[in-house]
Amino acid sequence: MTSSIFDEDALIELQQADTDPLASPLQLQTEGQIAIRQLHRYHDWSGLPLLCWNCDTETILTRTPDMPLAVLDPGVLQRAVAETGPWTDELVPGLVHYGLPLPMADGCRLVALGHVPSDPRSIPTAARTAAVQLGWDEDRLQEWFVHQPCASREIVARLVDLTWQQRQHHERFEAAEMEIAELADRIERMFEEISLLHALARNLHLSCAPVDLAELALERISALIHCGGVAAYLQDRSGETRLLTRGCLPFDEEGFVRFVEQFSGHNWQRPLVRNNVADTLLGRDFAGLDNFVLAEIAEGSHRTGWLLICNLQNGREFGTIEASLLNSVATILGVHARNIDLYQEHEELLVSFVRSMVSTLDAKDPYTRGHSQRVAAVARRIAVELGLPPEDVNNVWLSGLLHDIGKIGVDDRVLRKPGRLTPQEFEHVKKHPEIGYQILKGLTNLRATLPGVRHHHERFDGSGYPDGLAGEEIPFLARILAVADAFDAMCSDRPYRRGMAIEQVEAIFRQDRGAYWDPRVIRAYFQARKDIHALWQNLVANASDSALDDAVDVEGSTLCYAKPESPTEAT
């Protein structure tokens, strides 16, 4: 052991390696750097010269620039080893020694040591001896002494204590800073998760297909969780499956199904989380799979698919955060898919119900078989031409199917009468819009069809029935149906006459628009006339006399026009 050591190389290393001693602790790389940074903090806070003493190797690791001369008496070093906190002592005459613990580095105990002269009037003997050992001349020794911060033991002790308190404050500050940083990360992550769930919730409408919602979910998950791959496996009501992916997955769709089958015994109330599977049997079966979270896309017991994230990056493992997020997303996808299924089932039930009613009408009135389907198709095409939104177009179509449903309440003898109707019979038939309205008004899901059912025989000039509405008073839906109804009635054959030629029908349309029909609807008809002729001809050509199940037939409506030459008497 030497009584004084001066290590110029260590000083140079310190200055080169540690140019920013008060930089953020988050930037530190090694234990040695942490200790050196702490030494500089002690120096800045106290203003006292310091060196870094390695108690295990008994060497100076580095020192501050104002500590070129070290007087490390054996008693000082013993004190440095013995103390676990800050200390101050005048162990060498004329010098006040002090020590402050430093963080350990590479398993070695480090201490910040230093000394200052206690008497500004004379150079301590021990310092003079150490200077001689370093080869200093008197001038250099004097220069060192002039620049030394001379202080009494009490003042130095106070400085050291304050420095130690400052360290404790700084450590608490650093801990708080790290806690704030972690909280900020968590808040940012929570915000991103909420944003993801909000984006999905915004698209929970029935017009968004489950595949589109799943694509959106994969996009947002892959942006939020830095993992190797994300996948959604979807199965629709018909059993058709689809595997949507982002990133790289260790299996194709067939492999995915085999993968999921491995966990048939899992309770899917919670997602399945597996880490470190690369060396397991599972990892051998699916090469490239390191870890994953697998969640069931389901609503209750109604499963519609699976959601998977795998191979978290940077060697991290999946935990409750990822599992919770995936579970939430899978639940949203499951509920949405179930709602879509229920809506489709409901729609199918509604259409089946409507078709049953139309079939009933067609069975009752053989002369009008297929009329409702043709009116519905023509009206729908006109509605499209008018630029109505899809939901309204669908309601126009349903209204076309049901517009004459009130004929169920008309006497069969009148309905099936092959010839022209008497005025009394015609008055009886004219009740069918009101009867249809009464039949359907209690059915909430068909409420949108009521204006068409009740008012499809109103005339634009107010001479129609049942309410004698005119112009804009007539619901627009009914004005569309009126044109489609007249078109099919005039074009269709009847037992006592052939259907009119389309040119003749269109001549009547031109002549009586504004009187019988809304000119805007007539204009839309002419704009789409080629399409309408084609679809009408197609419906007539493909109809079958026995096709009552789907209620399509070739027969025209006897009752729609009591007098072929007078289309305004359509029923």
What is the distance between the alpha carbons of residues 172 and 325, in angstroms, rounded to a whole number?
33
The span of 365-373, 404-412, 474-482, 496-504 binding Fe ion (CB under 5 A) equals 404-412
Question: What is the separation of C-alpha 450 from the centre of its chain, rounded to a whole number of angstroms?
Answer: 40
- CB of 364 within 8 A of CB of 407? yes
**Cβ 266 to Fe ion shortest distance, Å:** 60
**Cβ 384 to Fe ion shortest distance, Å:** 22
Contact track, Fe ion, 229-268, x by CB under 5 A: ----------------------------------------
Of 290 and 404, nearer to Fe ion (C-beta) is 404
**Cβ 376 to Fe ion shortest distance, Å:** 13
What is the distance between the alpha carbons of residues 517 and 324, in angstroms, rounded to a whole number?
61
Of 431 and 523, nearer to Fe ion (C-beta) is 431
What is the distance between the alpha carbons of residues 144 and 138, in angstroms, rounded to a whole number?
10
Of 430 and 513, nearer to Fe ion (C-beta) is 430
What is the distance between the alpha carbons of residues 404 and 76, in angstroms, rounded to a whole number?
112
- 400 closest CA partner among 354, 464, 337: 354
**Cβ 559 to Fe ion shortest distance, Å:** 8
What is the distance between the alpha carbons of residues 412 and 245, in angstroms, rounded to a whole number?
61
**Cβ 525 to Fe ion shortest distance, Å:** 18
**Cβ 393 to Fe ion shortest distance, Å:** 21
**What one-character DSSP code corresponds to residue 58?**
T
**Cβ 460 to Fe ion shortest distance, Å:** 16
Of 404 and 425, nearer to Fe ion (C-beta) is 404
Residues 32-91 touching Fe ion, rule: CB under 5 A, are none
The span of 28-36, 281-289, 312-320, 398-406 binding Fe ion (CB under 5 A) equals 398-406
- CB of 295 within 8 A of CB of 307? yes
Of 299 and 485, nearer to Fe ion (C-beta) is 485
Q: Which of 404, 425, 488, 518 binds Fe ion (CB under 5 A)?
A: 404
E strands in 118-275: 227-235, 241-247, 272-274
Neighbours of 231 (CB within 10 A): 25
Of 73 and 404, nearer to Fe ion (C-beta) is 404
Contact track, Fe ion, 356-395, x by CB under 5 A: ----------------------------------------
Residues 427-486 touching Fe ion, rule: CB under 5 A, are none
Residues 102-141 touching Fe ion, rule: CB under 5 A, are none
User: Where is 295: in which H helix or E strand?
Assistant: strand 292-299
Within a 13 Å sphere around the CA of 252, how many CA atoms are in the beta-carbon half?
A: 1
The span of 194-202, 303-311, 400-408, 493-501 binding Fe ion (CB under 5 A) equals 400-408
The span of 100-108, 373-381, 399-407, 473-481 binding Fe ion (CB under 5 A) equals 399-407
The span of 169-177, 335-343, 397-405, 435-443 binding Fe ion (CB under 5 A) equals 397-405
Any bridge partners for residue 93, and if so which? Answer: none
- CB of 222 within 8 A of CB of 242? no
Task: Give a three-class secondary structure readout of 426-444.
Answer: HHHHCCHHHHHHHHHCCCH
Of 130 and 402, nearer to Fe ion (C-beta) is 402
Of 233 and 437, nearer to Fe ion (C-beta) is 437
- 307 closest CA partner among 361, 260, 275, 255: 260
- CB of 485 within 8 A of CB of 403? yes
**Cβ 240 to Fe ion shortest distance, Å:** 41
- Residues of 172-182 as b/e, b for ≥16 C-beta within 10 angstroms? eeeeeeeeeee
**Cβ 361 to Fe ion shortest distance, Å:** 11
- 111 closest CA partner among 154, 57, 69: 57
Of 308 and 376, nearer to Fe ion (C-beta) is 376
Of 327 and 368, nearer to Fe ion (C-beta) is 368
- Count of residues engaged in binding Fe ion, rule: CB under 5 A: 1
Q: What residues have CB less than 8 Å from 411, skipping those under 6 apart? A: 428
Of 318 and 476, nearer to Fe ion (C-beta) is 476
**Cβ 407 to Fe ion shortest distance, Å:** 7
**Cβ 553 to Fe ion shortest distance, Å:** 16
What is the distance between the alpha carbons of residues 449 and 250, in angstroms, rounded to a whole number?
53
- 367 closest CA partner among 492, 504, 505, 453: 492
**Cβ 409 to Fe ion shortest distance, Å:** 12
**Cβ 536 to Fe ion shortest distance, Å:** 17
Of 41 and 432, nearer to Fe ion (C-beta) is 432
The span of 70-78, 166-174, 401-409, 491-499 binding Fe ion (CB under 5 A) equals 401-409
Residues 173-232 touching Fe ion, rule: CB under 5 A, are none
Question: What is the separation of C-alpha 508 from the centre of its chain, rounded to a whole number of angstroms?
Answer: 56
Q: What are phi and psi of 18, to 5 degrees?
A: -135, 60
Q: What residues have CB less than 8 Å from 53, skipping those under 6 apart? A: 59, 60, 61, 72, 77, 80, 110, 111, 112, 113
The span of 65-73, 193-201, 210-218, 403-411 binding Fe ion (CB under 5 A) equals 403-411
Of 404 and 569, nearer to Fe ion (C-beta) is 404
* Residue of closest CB approach to Fe ion: 404
**Cβ 383 to Fe ion shortest distance, Å:** 18
The span of 66-74, 98-106, 396-404, 476-484 binding Fe ion (CB under 5 A) equals 396-404
Of 167 and 432, nearer to Fe ion (C-beta) is 432
What is the distance between the alpha carbons of residues 235 and 92, in angstroms, rounded to a whole number?
85
CA distances from 92 to 82, 95, 98, 99, 508 (A): 17, 6, 11, 14, 126
Q: Which residues bind Fe ion (CB under 5 A)?
A: 404
